[in-house]
Amino acid sequence: MHPAPSVILFTSLSGLGFGLLVWLGLGVLAPTGWVAFVFFTIAYLLAVGGLMASTFHLGHPERALKAFTQWRTSWLSREAWASVAALVLMALYGAGLVFFASRWAVLGYLGAALSLLTVITTSMIYAQMRTVPRWNNPTTPAMFLSYSLAGGALLAGEVTIAIWLLTIAVVAQVAHWVVGDRALAGSGTTIASATGLGDRGAVRSFEPPHTGTNYLMDEFIHVVGRKHRVTLRAIALISGLLMPSLILLAGVGHLLAAVAVLLHLVGVFASRWLFFAEAEHVVGLYYGKR
């Protein structure tokens, strides 16, 4: 799959933002006044910034409101509802903390649940794709959720929770790679089933439909980004998950925490790049590629 920068930015940043909102909503940290203002500003910049970035890949962003209509069947539509509902409730909850120094707990719990739901709906947009076997399994939501909650805890400065969740994220991330590397072969979809000609002999793409490239090949058959997969996997694991854990174990100051967050962000970007670049869409089989 083509690793579009807008979608990588969106899933990474809004994942972090909604992760932070979960911990704020649960009251794991309940700052008030200016401190609350700073926390909520960071969470909203990330969550809303990510959502804005996601509209850049739309052909007609001016029609985006129509995406709220099909929540019965579409995970993308559900994501639109969950994110807006979470942002509205958490804004009210945040106003209570910032302006009235009071924690409206029920609102917070609801907002936290909706923030969590937003991350789940994002992950399900990918996990539902039967056409991309690497995504079509439970490791996709597990990875999105653990990254989001770990990053949120890191931003919230919740050391113990962050270390535990970073460890869980390592497991989810490695599981996603291990399961994903075998997924296409295990899906049963091959050039033989794609053409229906497999029982006659070995099928090989002899001539593509056109001499040039096309939308399908640009969008679904991305091979360049996979070249550095080992390096990028190492960056995702070491910079994104292990280094922040070690820094937290060593002790936290504000500066060190900022370094941990930045390292984590670099790792998340590497992981998300690979999430798309490594994903093989079955349509590639028609072109003799993967």
CA angle 128/129/135 to nearest 5° reads 90
Binders in 22-51 for another protein, by CB under 8 A: none
State how far the Cα of 235 lies from the Cα of 274, in Å rounded to an integer: 11
Residue 61 within binding range of another protein, rule CB under 8 A: yes
Residue 206 within binding range of another protein, rule CB under 8 A: yes
Within 10 Å of residue 199's Cβ, how many Cβ atoms? 7
- 133: nearest Cα among 281, 27, 290, 15: 281
Largest CA distance in the chain: 75
Smallest separation (angstroms) from another protein to the CB of 136:
11
Which of residues 119 and 169 has its CB atom nearest to another protein in the complex? 119
Residue 224 within binding range of another protein, rule CB under 8 A: no
Which residue pairs from 196-201 have beta carbons closer than 8 angstroms and sit at least 24 positions apart in sequence? none
Burial 254-265 (b: 16+ CB within 10 A, else e): eeebeebbebbb
Residue 202 within binding range of another protein, rule CB under 8 A: yes
Residue choice 213, 253, 258, 262 for contact with another protein (CB under 8 A): 213
Binders in 65-84 for another protein, by CB under 8 A: 66-70, 72-77, 80
- 265: nearest Cα among 112, 154, 110, 133: 154
Per-residue mark of binding to another protein, 129-168 (x: CB under 8 A): xxxx------------------------------------
Residue 251 within binding range of another protein, rule CB under 8 A: no
By rule CB under 8 A, what count of residues binds another protein? Answer: 58
Residue choice 60, 106, 254, 255 for contact with another protein (CB under 8 A): 60
State how far the Cα of 206 lies from the Cα of 100, in Å rounded to an integer: 70
Interface residues with another protein (CB under 8 A)?
1, 57-61, 63-64, 66-70, 72-77, 80, 125, 128-132, 187-189, 191, 193-197, 200-210, 212-216, 219-220, 281-283, 286-287
